[in-house]
Structure formats: C-alpha cells, structure tokens
Amino acid sequence: MESLLELIRGRRSIRKFTPQEVPIQEIEELLEAARWAPSGGNAQPWQFVIVTERETVEALKMVSPGLFGEPPAIIVMCFNKDRIQSTSELHYVDLGAALQNLLLMAYAKGLGCCPIASFDAEAVAELLSLPSQIQPVLLVILGYPDEDPSPPPRLPLNKLIVERI
C-alpha cells in the first residue's frame, strides 16, 4: 500500500520529452491497464487511437492550443458511442478512471504523460478520419521524460473532508 501511494504521489504531468520513440508494445501495456478500469454498468465506453507518425502528431498540435512540446506519441481517448446510450457525465467518469490507470502505468514504466483537454475535438476527428461513433474526449501526450517537475500543490485533507454530522 505504501508503494502504491508513493506511485500516486510521484506521478507528474510531463510536457518535455526526449526524442526517443516509444515502442508500440509499451503503449499497448498502458492501454491494457486502461481497459481494466471500472465503468458504470461495465459499459467500457472507451476507444483509443494511437498516433506515432510525426506528421500526424504535428497536425494534432495545430488544433490543440493546450498541447506544448514535442511528444513522440499521442493517445486519443475517445467514446465509442456504439457502447453507450448517451455521453452523460457517468461516462466521462469512466474515461477518467481509464486515464488514471494509464497515467500510473506509464509512470511505473518510466514513461511520461500529460492529459490534454484543450483541443478542437471536431478537427481531431476529421484529421484522424474517425467514424462518427468515435468521439475524441481527451489527448494524452506520451514519451520518455526530459524534465522532473515539482509537484503542484494539493489542498490539505482537512479542507476536503466534511465531517459526519
């Protein structure tokens, strides 16, 4: 348990990467962790698009104002609308759980990641020629870390807990 908490505390958002490519098997291991996340009604609404081609990464950057640096790979986390009735908040929670599994697995393997919400979903869908049932929700930039950022502060636990009345 100690080491799990250390892993959770030690993970950082990484935005600077070495130019080293990430082998596809490594990326698939991250998605293996993601697919074991819990989801409401076990809907498993996620679909992942792996982007490693340089030109496609550059094109994604052009439509993602919140994406900085030169990531060697990007995972586009999407809804597969064939598996869900609607894109309700519940399913965003599902994707969040899959995201955290992916981020922790990446950190445990010496990879760096950063979730990116600041992007144009329609432009990304068009650029990747995604079928209409696949809706991009979040980008995750990925590579070998070339920075070791300090942890951004967290609120203390006593501000987060409402005592039982």
Ligand X SMILES: Cc1cc2nc3c(=O)[nH]c(=O)nc-3n(C[C@H](O)[C@H](O)[C@H](O)COP(=O)(O)O)c2cc1C
* Nearest-angstrom CA–CA distance, 66 and 119: 7
Residue 153, interface with ligand X (CB under 6 A)? no
Per-residue string for binding with ligand X, 50-89, x by CB under 6 A?
Answer: ----------------x-----------------------
The answer to whether the CB of 24 falls within 8 A of the CB of 53 is no
36: tokens are 């074991």
Instruction: State yes or no: residue 41 binds ligand X (CB under 6 A).
Output: no
User: What do you get for the CA distance between the two ends of the chain, in Å?
Assistant: 30
Binding ligand X (rule: CB under 6 A), the pick from 84, 114, 124, 142 is 114
| Candidate residues 63, 115, 120, 130; the one interacting with ligand X per rule CB under 6 A | 115
Residues in contact with ligand X by CB under 6 A are 12-13, 15, 66, 114-118, 152
